[in-house]
Amino acid sequence: MGRRLAAVAVLAVAGTGVWALWPPSQPLNSRTACAYTGDVTSSLTAFARATGQPVNCAVLFNDSATTWDQWAGPWFIHPVAGGTDWARWVRADPGQRRLVITQELVPGDVPANWRVLGAQGSYDRYARRLAANLVAAGLGQSVIRLGHEMNTLENHDSLGSDPGQYRDWATYWARVVRAMRSVPGAHFLFDWNVNAGYKDIPLSSYYPGDSVVDIIGADLYDSGVPGNPAPSAARWQALAGEPGGLATIVAFARQHDKPLSFPEWGLVSAADGGGGDDPDYVSQLAAQIAAVPVVYQGYFDRPTGSVLPLQRAPRSLAAWKRAFGPGGPAAGHPW
């Protein structure tokens, strides 16, 4: 889950370039309706009912594996009870439904020099096994959100603490992509997903390269504004100027002719430094999504930490419906 202190910005993007050619020849359309809800039954159904918009894309997390077996055999590919059989959910309508799989780069039991070892190819076999397991489960067209929020240095699979570790991290990231792509039936899209505004580390210092990155993602929440002004245009403008925030990420994506994603975005309670029920934030983010090439966006609809589900923010829920519902400027489309 992303940092609660993040920034977003609506940018006017001039010109065309490769951006105008997205999506590629895979079964994708831009601005897919997507969410993180936690389970496939009650929570997903509740989100769809509240928004009035069927959800055909779900964000999942495989970010707590302790062994390579767990890493390469994610929990959601196995038939389980309790609303967590996401593979079955996809297989029920494979032409429309997709998963965005948040996949950490390594499990918890790796040595401290895992970046070096990964860059040397020591873990390629596990990446191939992961891809084969996903393909066998009917998930070969998922988005792989690999090593997400890498600039959140508290994460155990983060960039590290110096430029040498950044380079090894990026080299290993690229190796995982190439290994997974080598598996028959693999048609994944790989999302290089930055935590907007968290650490202002030059993006170029850990970018794995255009040949392996399909999407550039930004996680962002309505929080972190100095003085915590009330929801307003001024609040949004304050968020827009944060170092290492969305303005920087969007400019970098344009430089590399890559489309964007917003894998995690959401409201934060006012008591925890957020905007609370902030319809202006929702509307401004929707305007951003409508203005630039965006493959998918995922509202974080779980009451985790200080995050507000849309059902607890009625004015923002109404803004979501206006923006992302049928006919809205950022309306979702089937994949």
State CA 127 to chain mean position distance: 20
Check if the beta carbon of residue 25 is closer than 8 Å to that of residue 290.
no
pLDDT per residue as tens digits for the range 142-169: 999 999 999 998 899 999 999 999 999 9
pLDDT at 41: 74
Hey, what are 164's tokens? 């040498």
pLDDT at 62: 92
pLDDT at 33: 67
Q: Consecutive 10-residue runs of the chain (335 residues): their mean pLDDT? A: 33 29 38 75 86 88 93 86 83 89 96 98 98 97 96 92 97 98 97 91 97 95 82 79 87 95 93 91 89 90 90 96 86 52
State CA 118 to chain mean position distance: 23
For tokens 């995982």, the residue is 176
Closest CA to 237 of 292, 284, 297: 284
pLDDT per residue as tens digits for the range 229-257: 888 778 877 777 788 888 899 999 999 99
Which helix (H) or strand (E) segment holds residue 44: the answer is helix 42-51
CATH architecture of 17-324: Alpha-Beta Barrel (3.20)
Tell me the β-bridge partners of 260: 216, 294
